């Protein structure tokens, strides 16, 4: 985008100033806690036990206006025999405070981690000895904060299983006892590094984090102007709105600030280049026309873009544990699919995905085989909503589409013997199947990763759709622009196959199943923001209207959902 990298230092400079002030607190805090509590370190606290029994009985504990909930904290202290956890860890307590104050850099909300309350209590500890009750409250609050923040960094704040029906990607502690993990974190001599290790290692996550800093810097500097509504702006037109368009594009780096204007109100060639760059970044038709779609994208507020980035950062946390070195990824909202081999992109092509009312689902499965010259058996939903209505209007539709009617045992039935006008999808006793060939709805090849959604990648005869900027046209499956190259790469470790043999097999029109040498993970994901390696930020339409639901949860009250492999005490 060309933003000055110094923008990214704004939050860090502010944080370092606050950290310097807090270091003064640390010097006093270490002394005060040490004097008042040294004799009690390693001893059981009856008051702490009482607090935890109250939390366990009521499923909530009020501490100076803060409500602590959940089963993790009381179980943590029970296994510690109710010893305070932070008494000799003042440095780590301060590091935690600095981290949670900076949690906005991760797209999170410091208030979720009691930042203000902990800072107030630490500041009080720097001025006077804390009472036993205050020491216990501070210890509990620090533990609750580190548990919650570490969990959010690792898994995301929002539970994806409540957002996406059918999602099967597991959130896992990877067999490590979460209580031991938190205890080791609190005791660590490298606290910041240990906490940072829970941040997603997905490259996209780190690029989104940089983009978040950039867009917050834009907000601090005033954002961008609104472009007034009006007729479509076309190149070479004179219009007063050209001034606002030019200013708008300069703010986000789509147009260089020093780009000369031939005339102030003229939509000239240089401005057209900037508009087309903007359209490319926003998944619009790159035509230089400033119509309703482009105008709407220009007038999305900087706050909305910041929230969009934050939503996708949480999505990145959902999948940070899921990515192997070699896999196929479908970016549903971005209309693209990629094959990564050993972490490097080997194939990347545009795809067509499901319509808004027939959404492509988010899930993970293993691709095990591909099929050349596939037949296509019409799924029940498409039969009811598409095929039967067309047959009622024109019984010749089957012949035109080279489709056959078969019994459930596979015997061909003469379609002329069926009264299509009175036929209903309910109880329909036949299958309708399209023969192999270039006319087939699945094209010449399909890639199978068995799943309950009956979704797969496949070729298509409708190549013109790939020229569209928005490509949500399918019934849920993923249509691929260049499937032959994908097949070649997937079979490159099989000596029986190369590109020439693939072409010959397809030309034969013979239906053929080919098992992959090794299964390949396929991840179907939903991103409405992408960031290139060069820092270019790409925004996409939320075609399935999912962002708002995630944002409400991201900014709302925290609710803990136990990972799949959680111990029974955490699940129940």
What digits encode the pLDDT tens for the residues 540-564? 999 999 999 999 999 998 777 666 6
Q: Is the pLDDT of residue 25 over 90?
A: no
Give the Cα separation of 34 and 77 in Å (integer).
21
The DSSP H or E segment spanning 118 is helix 115-125
Using 50, 70 and 90 to split pLDDT, how confident is the model at 110?
very high
Q: Is the pLDDT of residue 190 over 80?
A: yes
Give the Cα separation of 322 and 168 in Å (integer).
11
Give the Cα separation of 101 and 113 in Å (integer).
9
Cβ–Cβ under 8 Å, residues 259 and 249:
no
Residue 563 pLDDT: 66
Give the Cα separation of 245 and 228 in Å (integer).
9
Alpha helices per DSSP H over 191-331: 191-196, 203-220, 241-251, 269-281, 292-298, 302-319
Helix axes 499-507, 483-490, angle to 10 degrees: 120
Candidate from 7-16, 60-69, 194-203, 398-407 with smallest mean pLDDT: 7-16
- Please enumerate in sequence order all residues whose Cβ is within 8 A of that of 539, keeping only pairs 6 or more positions apart, or say none: 281, 282, 283, 297, 300, 305, 308, 528, 529
Q: Is the pLDDT of residue 1 over 70?
A: no
Q: Is 16 exposed, middle or buried (0-12, 13-18, 19+ CB in 10 A)?
A: exposed
Return the SS3 of 65: coil
Cβ–Cβ under 8 Å, residues 187 and 89:
yes
Whole-number CA gyration radius for the chain: 29
Vertex 531, ends 221 and 342: CA angle to 5°?
155
Return the SS3 of 329: strand
The pTM assigned to this predicted structure is 0.89
Residue 262 pLDDT: 87
Percent of the chain exceeding pLDDT 90 equals 75
Give the total residue count for the chain: 572
Instruction: Please give the mean pLDDT across all residues of the chain.
Output: 89
For 33, list phi and psi in degrees, rounded to 5: -65, -35
Strand arrangement, sheet containing 412-413: 376-377, 430-434, 403-407, 412-413
Residue 19 pLDDT: 53
In 3D, which of 374, 382, 325, 375 has the Cα closest to residue 201? 325
- Please enumerate in sequence order all residues whose Cβ is within 8 A of that of 332, keeping only pairs 6 or more positions apart, or say none: 353, 354, 360, 362, 524, 525, 526, 527, 543, 544
Q: Is the pLDDT of residue 416 over 70?
A: yes
Concatenated DSSP letters of 525-555:
E--SEEE-TT--EEE---TT--HHHHHHHHH
In 3D, which of 472, 219, 452, 189 has the Cα closest to residue 351? 472
In degrees to the nearest 10, what's the CA dihedral of 280, 282, 288, 289? 160
Q: Kindly tell me the sign of the dihedral angle through the C-alpha atoms of 217, 222, 227, 228.
A: positive
Q: What is the pLDDT of residues 478-510, one digit of tens each?
A: 999 999 999 999 999 999 999 999 999 999 999
Q: What is the pLDDT of residues 286-300, one digit of tens each?
A: 999 999 999 999 999
Higher pLDDT, 6 or 398: 398
The residue-averaged pLDDT of 1-28 equals 42
DSSP state, residue 354: E
Look at the block and give the residue holding tokens 């969009």: 308
Cβ–Cβ under 8 Å, residues 525 and 319:
yes
All domains of the chain in start order, with CATH: 5-201 (no CATH), 227-298 (1.10.101.10), 324-530 (2.40.440.10)
Q: Is the pLDDT of residue 261 over 70?
A: yes
The residue-averaged pLDDT of 9-34 equals 46
Q: What is the pLDDT of residues 427-482, one digit of tens each?
A: 899 999 999 999 999 999 999 999 999 999 999 999 999 999 999 999 999 999 99
In 3D, which of 369, 8, 316, 68 has the Cα closest to residue 169? 316
Vertex 266, ends 262 and 271: CA angle to 5°?
75
């Amino acid at each position: 985008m060309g933003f000055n990298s110094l923008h990214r230092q704004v939050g860090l400079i502010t944080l370092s100033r606050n950290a310097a002030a807090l270091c003064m607190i640390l010097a006093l805090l270490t002394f005060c806690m040490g004097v008042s509590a040294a004799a009690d370190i390693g001893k059981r606290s009856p008051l702490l036990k009482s607090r935890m029994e109250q939390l366990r009985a009521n499923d909530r504990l009020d501490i100076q206006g803060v409500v602590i909930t959940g089963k993790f904290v009381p179980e943590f202290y029970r296994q510690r025999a109710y010893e305070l956890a932070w008494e000799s860890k003042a440095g780590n307590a301060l590091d935690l405070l600095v981290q949670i104050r900076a949690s906005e850099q991760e797209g999170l909300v410091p208030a979720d981690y009691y930042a203000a309350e902990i800072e107030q209590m630490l500041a009080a500890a720097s001025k006077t000895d804390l009472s036993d009750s205050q020491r216990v409250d501070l210890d509990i609050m620090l533990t609750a904060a580190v548990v919650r923040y570490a969990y959010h960094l690792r898994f995301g704040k929002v539970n994806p299983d409540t957002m996406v029906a059918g999602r099967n990607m597991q959130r896992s502690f990877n067999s490590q006892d979460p209580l031991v993990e938190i205890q080791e974190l609190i005791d660590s001599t490298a606290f910041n590094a240990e906490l940072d290790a829970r941040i997603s290692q997905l490259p996209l996550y780190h690029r989104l984090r940089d983009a978040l800093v950039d867009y917050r810097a834009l907000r601090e500097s005033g954002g961008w102007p609104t472009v007034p509504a009006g007729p479509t702006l076309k190149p070479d037109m004179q219009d007063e709105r050209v001034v606002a368009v030019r200013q708008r594009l300069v703010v986000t780096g789509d147009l260089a600030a020093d780009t000369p204007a031939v005339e102030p109100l003229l939509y000239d060639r240089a401005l057209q280049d900037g508009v087309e760059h903007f359209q490319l970044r926003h998944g619009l038709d790159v035509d230089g026309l400033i119509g309703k779609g482009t105008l709407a994208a220009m007038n999305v507020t900087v706050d909305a873009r910041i929230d969009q980035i934050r939503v996708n950062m949480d999505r990145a946390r959902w999948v940070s544990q899921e990515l192997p070195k070699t896999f196929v990824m479908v970016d549903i909202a971005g209309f693209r699919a990629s094959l990564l081999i050993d972490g490097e992109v080997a194939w990347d092509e545009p795809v067509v995905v499901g319509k808004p009312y027939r959404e492509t689902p988010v899930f993970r499965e293993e691709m095990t085989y591909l099929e050349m010259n596939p037949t296509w058996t019409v799924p029940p939903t498409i039969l009811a909503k598409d095929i039967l209505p067309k047959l009622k209007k024109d019984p010749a539709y089957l012949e035109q589409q080279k489709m056959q009617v078969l019994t459930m045992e596979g015997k061909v039935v003469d379609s002329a013997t069926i009264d299509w006008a009175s036929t209903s999808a309910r109880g329909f006793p036949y299958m309708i199947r399209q023969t192999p060939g270039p006319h087939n709805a699945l094209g010449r090849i399909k890639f199978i990763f068995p799943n309950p959604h009956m979704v797969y990648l496949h070729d298509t005869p409708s190549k013109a759709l790939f020229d569209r900027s928005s490509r949500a046209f399918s019934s849920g499956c993923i249509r691929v622009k260049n499937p032959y190259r994908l097949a070649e790469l997937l079979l490159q470790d099989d000596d029986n196959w190369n590109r020439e043999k693939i072409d010959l097999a397809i030309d034969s029109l013979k239906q053929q199943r080919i098992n992959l040498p090794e299964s390949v993970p396929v991840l179907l994901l939903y991103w409405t923001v992408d960031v290139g390696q060069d820092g270019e930020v790409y925004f996409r339409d939320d075609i399935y209207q999912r962002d708002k639901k995630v944002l409400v949860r991201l900014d709302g009250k925290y609710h803990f959902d136990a990972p799949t492999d959680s111990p029974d005490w955490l699940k129940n």
